[in-house]
Amino acid sequence: MITLKSNLEGKIAVITGGGGILCGSIAKGLAKEGVKTAILDLSLDKARSVAEEILNKGGNAIAIKCDVLNKEEVQSAKEKVIEKYGRCDILINGAGGNHPKGTTTKEIFELSDLQKENRELITFFDLEIEGFEFVFNLNFLGTFLVSQVFLKEMVNHENTTIINISSMSAFSPMTKVPAYSAAKAAVSNFTYWLAVHFAKVGIRVNAIAPGFFLTEQNKNLLIQKDGTPTERYKKIIDHTPLGRLGVPEDLLGTVLWLCDENASGFVTGTVIPIDGGFMAYSGV
């Protein structure tokens, strides 16, 4: 039977990257629905800030420092969650980001770029393996490792679910950020694989693919030092039918729906765009 009433009261959610703008907003939104939230972040201060805001509003949350690429820390985080809450019902893999060493200066390569008259110019040929490794490891291997550790506990409970954070760049790679685009494509593909692999034990695995949202990580690409929008920002708005950037709250409705087995119990193996129509628009 379809119901509009949330079925999330008392659920336990673990959110990596929970101290960030987008996942912090998701954590707060889940907490309003009665979800007990474990905020995992590389920065304990950021995790505490989100957890304290939830607690101050009558919610239930804990902050845990966790490097998603350190298996011992992930295992320790899981043990703290189990000790505090007894289980994990919802895992949101939100830790991710980009790195300057995986980013080109220009959108399109030109032969004149090889002359390197501009020493600050970073072409495809200047990209460093360390930058690619950092971006790929953080976005994909961090998702893999956290899923591996927490799923071992989640398989013992009914109605558990995973939501990965992919990107619209996984569908159509953005210029300048080849490492990030490739890593998010891997996250999407891994989402499909996990959904099939764990379907028989009742675990649903989906992903959301945010479009363009203003965060600390992409701020320099979208906003100039004087506060005015960059040409990239203007291009994004021109190609977004809804005519604006996303705000963190735009992700919440889809996340709540995916978390609630009463509303989305037959949904698994999907990557859902939340992009203001960006992918649907051909530009003409």
The conformation of residue 111, written as its DSSP 8-state character, comes to G
Q: Is 192 a catalytic residue?
A: no
Comparing CA positions, the residue from 135, 50, 45 lying closest to residue 92 is 50
Q: In what order do the strands lie in the sheet with 90-93?
A: 61-65, 36-41, 12-16, 90-93, 161-165, 204-210, 271-274
Q: Which of 180, 192, 233, 281 is catalytic?
A: 180
For residue 271, the cross-strand partners are: 207
Quote the Cα angle for 214-220-223, to 5°: 65
> How far is 34 from 58, CA to CA, in rounded Å?
10
> How far is 207 from 266, CA to CA, in rounded Å?
14
> How far is 169 from 278, CA to CA, in rounded Å?
11
As annotated, the active-site residues are 180
